[in-house]
Chain A
């Protein structure tokens, strides 16, 4: 059986050394290259064509996510495993969108890391338990939320914006609206500009049309 050839990228030498030492404890894994920036990792991918890339995220000169995108763009089948300190949803989104197969936390133990490498080498997705929990929470939240939030097909307007849109549609001037709502005319103008951008219309007339189409005139 041939060994799994791994490229390791991390900007901290000691951490990279630790990762490599951990990987070398297994007979079926072989570290064929080490990089300390994202750019270097992408370049080394070209020359080495490893089976698996272990990438840190926070690195100088192209972070791990950008490196993942760059590698996947050229080699859509590249098998990339992200190994990072960061535990939060935004990182998860970015990792998945970039096309990496797995996301492990750096406090993973050696067995977890090795089995992660093997699974990714096999084309399977792998996530640390804590990441998996994050995904589950996110799913539960969106499932619960889908009952009380209507599907969003038009931009969500705040209460204040709805009030102002209504008044604009009723033909009131900024000055009049300001007086009715006890806010400054300047704030009304800001909202007007925001509404135009939010709703993707050209001008105040567009706002009026929108309000009529969406039936916002009747209170």
Chain B
């Protein structure tokens, strides 16, 4: 091979290598032992050095300012022959924007087998992280949805059982007695009267059952008289059945709110009181409702044993509170829980009066 051929060949190879580096659709840079740029891919110039043109000869610490200490340490280790890898790191762009990155630094060698510098590879993973977060959220949402469907099914099973075992049996018995009464009406009128009386008793019991079932499904007071009477009645019921002494006050509440708000406020109070009875071991509780300019404020307090609020997010404890939280958040409201062991619990809830659909999605 002639010398000129050899040279042009080397030059050609060098050119190929430079093109390979600079056109690679990744963030790639080659630096010498003094951390001065030898080569950088176009993507690197765009994303890491915000398009600052030719980087060759410039120092890495001038091109990217304020590099964190662990980056410097990684370069130093690479210059002694060790590769370093970071799966998740933060890169602050010159314009102040944050990016999540995955990056590696490794040494490169001279023909004499001494370390000539480092090669840095950076991958932007902000987008991927966002996608991961969304997909995690979707997975979480799906499992919550599944739990909700399960709850609905459970509720339906209970209603079906109450209808069939309770009302069904009562009505069947009433029907039977009326049948007997019909047969006896001529041959034994006294017996017939007795049969009919029994049927009436059974139907009276049925009416009472229907009242209980429908009351549990949907509080009629809410529809007939509005929110404040419904909550007052709820508190009375707890007091009357001897389960809890609940003090109720309201401040400037209106007679009516939208059905969505009314039912949420009602269910939240109901769920909270049930929770207190089940878990708090409290003797007294209070519900205060305030009508504010833009929202309804609900303050529910008890004098029970309290808990550590951090605990409700984990495990199954406090599923009642999670139900409350979900209902409130669905309306764009927020909830704050203050509790300490043996110091009672306080739940503060804000429900916006404007429906969540009217608000811009941020």
Q: Interface of B with A (CB < 8 Å)?
A: 200, 203-204, 207-208, 210-211, 220-221, 223-225, 229-230, 232-233, 236-237, 239-240, 247, 249, 251-252, 286, 288, 290, 292, 297, 299, 301, 303, 336, 338, 340, 344, 346, 348
Contacts and interface: CB of A to CB of B under 8 A. Distances in A.
Contacts of A197: 251-252, 290
Given A88-B233, A184-B338, A58 B240 contact: no
Contacts of A122: none
A77 to B, nearest CB: 25
A160 B301 contact: yes
A218 interface: no
B236 A90 contact: yes
Closest 8 CB pairs between A and B?
A90-B233, A107-B207, A183-B338, A107-B204, A90-B221, A90-B229, A197-B251, A158-B301
Interface string A59-72: 00001010000000
25 contacts: A57-B224, A58-B223, A85-B210, A86-B211, A88-B236, A90-B229, A90-B230, A90-B232, A90-B233, A93-B229, A94-B229, A109-B200, A137-B240, A155-B249, A156-B249, A158-B286, A183-B346, A186-B336, A187-B338, A187-B346, A187-B348, A190-B336, A194-B251, A198-B249, A198-B251
Question: Which of A90, A106, A137, A190 has the most C-beta atoms of chain B within 10 angstroms of its own C-beta?
Answer: A90
B296 to A, nearest CB: 12
Interface in A88-127: 88-91, 93-94, 106-107, 109
Contacts of A87: 211
A59 B233 CA distance: 20
Nearest to A108: B204
B290 A194 contact: yes
A63 B224 contact: yes
Contacts of B239: 141
- Select the residue from B211, B224, B247, B286 with max chain A CB neighbours within 10 A: B224
Given A65-B225, A159-B303, A194-B299, A89 B236 contact: yes
A90 B266 CA distance: 15
Given A158-B286, A190-B297, A86 B220 contact: yes
A193 B224 CA distance: 31
A57 B204 CA distance: 19
B348 A91 contact: no
Contacts of B290: 194, 197
Nearest to A89: B236
Contacts of A93: 229
Contact of B340 (A65, A159, A182, A184): A182
Contacts of B237: 88
